[in-house]
Amino acid sequence: MPTLYIDDKPHTVGDGLNLLEACLSLGFNVPYFCWHPALGSVGACRQCAVKSFQNEQDKRGRIVMACMTAASEGTRISLDDPEVKSFRAGVIEWLMTSHPHDCPVCDEGGECHLQDMTVMCGHNYRDYRFPKRTHRNQNLGPFINHEMNRCIQCYRCVRYYRDYAGGRDFDAQGSNSRVYFGRHQDGALESEFSGNLVEVCPTGVFTDKTQKSHYTRRWDLQTAPSICVHCGAGCNITPGERYGTLRRIRNRYNGEVNGYFLCDRGRYGYEFVNGGHRARVAMRRAEPGSLVPTAKPLALPRIGSLLAGGARCIGIGSPRASLESNYALRKLVGAENFFAGVTAAHQSLTELTVHLLERGPAQTPSMREMAQADAVLVLGEDLTNTAPRIALALRQSVLNAPMKAAASMGIPDWNDGALRVVLQDQKGPFFIAAPDATRLDDIATETFRAAPDDIARLGFSVAHLLDPKAPEVPGLDENTRQLADRIAKTLAAAERPLVVSGPSLGSASVLSAAAAVANALSTETRRAGLSLTAPECNTLGAGLLGGGTLEEAERALSEGGAELVIILENDLYRRADHVFVDKLLGAAKQVILIDHTLNRTASHADYFLPAATFAEGDGTLVNSEGRGQRCIQVFMPTGDVQESWRWLRDLGAAAGKWPQTEWENIDVIVADIAAAFPMLKGVRDAAPLASFRIAGFKIPRQSHRYSGRTAMRAKMDVSEPGIPTDPDSPLTFSMEGFAGPAPASLASFFWAPGWNSVQSINKFQEEIGGALMGGDPGVRLIAPELEPGRAEYPGAIPEAFAPRPGKWMVVPMYHIHGSDEMSMLSAAVAERAPAPHIALSPEDAQLLGLGEGEMAELNIDGEILVLQVAVHAALPKGVAGLPAGLPGMEPVEIPAWGAVARRVGS
């Protein structure tokens, strides 16, 4: 813990920091541009200059860049020295010479790091009278708006895009004052993490293009801490609302989960909240296929009398509904009538995932821990498309092993420029076994392309090599055995090995194999990480609640005498093929659907009750790490919209199952869940109670500059309504309340005086890049039961994959833009989604006489799909890939054997 002297006052700071990090951690305001806590220092912008003194007697000092100087014991610096202040003012004046004078029409305005730093340095008058250099902009696709004139050449974008996120289609171009950041030509940015440029760029060069169509300044947004619902990673987000519509999603820093970055699906998939697919009033079926609005006070007693009528009622939950909603449904219909809302195949995978994580001894790591792994094995997952943010975390992990060598050369880990020079292309061990090429292949030490069964066999053989107690894989071919040997040796040598897998291939043996490797790696001194992805935002939460399968639900309706079915936030037509779902819904006398979006299932509903989306209600989600996190309501919805658990509460009250006063707020239902499921009792601590106050104040959702409160509704009525009450959280729909920092799980926005941009997060971290003050939000619910060395190795080892003539093993292929139901309702995400297709290996395509783009017919158990052919060079022979969850494609139960043929007549 070195002691620094800043302007002659001693301060103790953490080890291994540079001066800039040290000063910011201590709360000093030091301007900077090119340094970013996740990207390290390169000393490019010269903005963080401070004066350094050799000793107490040294009065002259010299100017150094804070970000390039280590904070070592006894360092004496001055931040307020007149010379260094004028130096910083001069630097920003140079940076601003060609700035285009367009803050009023710039989307960054009001949360612009450049504005903040300009004010901080005191530069307020332009002395430069010569012509400004200008650039032409590029069309960078549906996500990012490009306005190159605003650039100050800090190089953060390129360093993030290329070095951090691994993008290749974006770089610095030109020389000296003409340096340009863009693609080689117009076109959508390929990286799945391009949206982070919006937050990485300290100026308005890269701004959110989806927000442009409904632009709102940051201070006018009503925000609340929330959780992304587009995959199981559980990234923390800050959605912003204005005039009743969701305007944008911004990253919300959580040191343990997503850190500074989000994926593009999470950032741009929000528009389903505003979309035309929403229904905001209760509806009932007038005639087949048509829903007409009905009054809530009419609909509730009718459904209530149906429920009270004595007929058996079943409930179908959903992995995309909150823990509270699933629990409320389970309580309403009874545990024996509650079904988890996915098919048996998926449910068994979820149950297996939960079981593997609960047993251990391998531990499920947070994303921060994943980024710190020094050897990684990915089994069967295309992470960039199934859990994108985890892929970005893993991309950082390959630097850890070579960085040890750099540290021995005396290069600190924050010195990014020097590190990159020393590391060159060195990468730590990273093995990927997947059926097709993945977006992480560029960092992989070795890749293994095989059918799911072969991937599982590779995993089991690695486990056996690591721990002879694990079963041996019979009949392994020599290449695979050698690869397994290399992987086993590398993993065994690592300090923090990590195995990542998931259910996306639909293979239980892949999951078991991954767990076997991780468990075999766990010893007394070292617990290996085992991260299993979850396909939906609350897959794990719903899995912990249990429940039957869709097949069982169908049997309950057709044979078990059930007449009513309540479906919770679930489009069954995405879960199973339409024949089965038609049968299921047809067997029910009354179908009650609680959802926020009018989907295909809604057209079969007798009653439709409008549920709140993540932005309109409160709920708890459990991510793939087993972390329970609270989603707090951002804004008051219109119409009858309310949380699903509130609808279920109302239905239960209407049916006389409990009093009207049941579950008056989320704390009561969470306490109920904790009492009913000891496993889930941690969720009580996911956020403070609704009665929490700071100095008697609630926490405002609106910034202190929130504008237009006496005019925004004046067109409807000049008399302003009161502030809506929020029974579920200590937040208020107002700009009034506690003005200081709120607990991390309740902070609706991060702002500090002089820090209006996303960089203000520096003021809310215990240490730069570390945990948020008071601890990162979220509660880990799962801790492994078994001690290291007592690993169990369940799961049968499958037979080696053998291609069948005329048949193909059809495996699901996930797409970051496309496979998720809700984000595909956003126009920008849909624009980036692939068209329905079938992926074949070149050999198979040749065998079938099919070329790229030609139409093929896929027959799986009589279900026939007509699809375009896409030739994937990496696919192994005998395996075909089918996009999962794309709209316009009937869901089929895969992996399964299917026949592919040229389409007759094409």
Partner 1 sequence: MIRGMEGTKSLLRSMWMVFMHSFHKRETVLYPEEKPKLPARWRGRIVLTRDPDGQERCVACYLCSSACPVGCIALQATEDETGRRYPEFFRINFSRCIFCGMCEEACPTNSIQLTPDFEMSEYNRQDLVYEKEHLLINGVGKYHDYNFYRVAGLAIGGKGKGEAENESPPEDVKGLSL
Q: Which residues are near partner 1 by CB under 8 A? A: 99-105, 109-110, 129-137, 147, 149-150, 173-176, 178-180, 212-217, 219-220, 243, 705-712, 714-715, 717-719
- Taking the complex as a whole, the smallest distance from the CB of residue 535 to partner 1 amounts, in Å, to 37
- Taking the complex as a whole, the smallest distance from the CB of residue 193 to partner 1 amounts, in Å, to 25
CB nearer to partner 1: give 712 or 752: 712
Residue type, 717: D
For residue 26, report the phi and psi dihedrals to the nearest 5 degrees: -80, -5
Query: What is the DSSP annotation of 431-467?
Result: EEEESS--TTGGG-SEEEE--HHHHHHHHHHHHHHH-
**Residue 9 CB partners (closer than 8 Å, separation 6+):** none
CB nearer to partner 1: give 695 or 718: 718
CB nearer to partner 1: give 220 or 844: 220
CB nearer to partner 1: give 7 or 171: 171
Reported as type and span, the H/E element at residue 554 is helix 550-558
Q: Examine residue 743 and say whether the peptide bond preceding it is cis (omega within 30 degrees of 0).
A: no
CB nearer to partner 1: give 355 or 713: 713
- Taking the complex as a whole, the smallest distance from the CB of residue 140 to partner 1 amounts, in Å, to 15
- Taking the complex as a whole, the smallest distance from the CB of residue 114 to partner 1 amounts, in Å, to 14
Instruction: Report d(CA 652, CA 644) in Å as an integer.
Output: 12
- Taking the complex as a whole, the smallest distance from the CB of residue 755 to partner 1 amounts, in Å, to 17
- Taking the complex as a whole, the smallest distance from the CB of residue 710 to partner 1 amounts, in Å, to 4
Largest CA distance in the chain: 91
> For residues 42 and 52, is the Cβ–Cβ distance under 8 A?
no
CB nearer to partner 1: give 94 or 243: 243
869 in helix, strand or coil?
strand
For residue 320, report the phi and psi dihedrals to the nearest 5 degrees: -105, 5
Q: Which two tokens stand for residue 696?
A: 């008697």
- Taking the complex as a whole, the smallest distance from the CB of residue 700 to partner 1 amounts, in Å, to 14
**Residue 461 CB partners (closer than 8 Å, separation 6+):** 472, 473, 476, 480, 481, 484
Instruction: Report d(CA 90, CA 81) in Å as an integer.
Output: 14
Q: Which two tokens stand for residue 447?
A: 């890749």
CB nearer to partner 1: give 312 or 713: 713
CB nearer to partner 1: give 9 or 136: 136
CB nearer to partner 1: give 272 or 706: 706
- Taking the complex as a whole, the smallest distance from the CB of residue 157 to partner 1 amounts, in Å, to 15
Q: Which two tokens stand for residue 587?
A: 């067997």
> For residues 144 and 198, is the Cβ–Cβ distance under 8 A?
yes
- Taking the complex as a whole, the smallest distance from the CB of residue 706 to partner 1 amounts, in Å, to 8
Instruction: Report d(CA 371, CA 149) in Å as an integer.
Output: 35
Cα dist from 38 to 128, 189, 255, 324, 762, whole Å: 34, 21, 11, 35, 12
Tracing tokens 């599982």 back to the chain, one arrives at 456
CB nearer to partner 1: give 125 or 130: 130
CB nearer to partner 1: give 175 or 408: 175
- Taking the complex as a whole, the smallest distance from the CB of residue 103 to partner 1 amounts, in Å, to 7
- Taking the complex as a whole, the smallest distance from the CB of residue 635 to partner 1 amounts, in Å, to 16
CB nearer to partner 1: give 147 or 643: 147
CB nearer to partner 1: give 212 or 578: 212
- Taking the complex as a whole, the smallest distance from the CB of residue 648 to partner 1 amounts, in Å, to 36
β-pairing, 879-883 vs 808-813, is parallel
> For residues 396 and 402, is the Cβ–Cβ distance under 8 A?
no
* Paired residues of 363 in beta bridges: 529
Residue type, 163: D
For residue 682, report the phi and psi dihedrals to the nearest 5 degrees: -65, -25
- Taking the complex as a whole, the smallest distance from the CB of residue 298 to partner 1 amounts, in Å, to 32
Give which of 415, 377, 416 is closest to 397, Cα–Cα. Answer: 377
Taken in order 441, 444, 445, 450, the sign of the CA dihedral is negative
- Taking the complex as a whole, the smallest distance from the CB of residue 702 to partner 1 amounts, in Å, to 10
Burial of 300 (0-12, 13-18, 19+ CB in 10 A): buried
CB nearer to partner 1: give 176 or 525: 176
Core vs surface per residue 529-556: b (16+ CB within 10 A) or e:
bbbbbbbbbbbbbbbbbbbbbbbbbbeb
Taken in order 231, 632, 703, 260, the sign of the CA dihedral is negative
CB nearer to partner 1: give 184 or 489: 184
CB nearer to partner 1: give 104 or 310: 104
30 in helix, strand or coil?
coil
CB nearer to partner 1: give 2 or 109: 109
Checking phi first, is residue 847 left (phi over 0); if not, alpha (psi -120 to 50) or beta? alpha
Instruction: Report d(CA 173, CA 118) in Å as an integer.
Output: 26
Compute the half-sphere exposure of residue 153: CA atoms within 13 Å on the CB side of its CA.
21
Q: Which two tokens stand for residue 840?
A: 């074949």
- Taking the complex as a whole, the smallest distance from the CB of residue 169 to partner 1 amounts, in Å, to 16
Angle subtended by helix axes 644-654 and 296-308, to nearest 10: 60
Q: Examine residue 891 and say whether the peptide bond preceding it is cis (omega within 30 degrees of 0).
A: no
- Taking the complex as a whole, the smallest distance from the CB of residue 211 to partner 1 amounts, in Å, to 10
Reported as type and span, the H/E element at residue 338 is strand 338-339
Residue type, 611: A
- Taking the complex as a whole, the smallest distance from the CB of residue 736 to partner 1 amounts, in Å, to 12
Give which of 293, 267, 283, 91 is closest to 196, Cα–Cα. Answer: 267
- Taking the complex as a whole, the smallest distance from the CB of residue 598 to partner 1 amounts, in Å, to 26
CB nearer to partner 1: give 217 or 780: 217
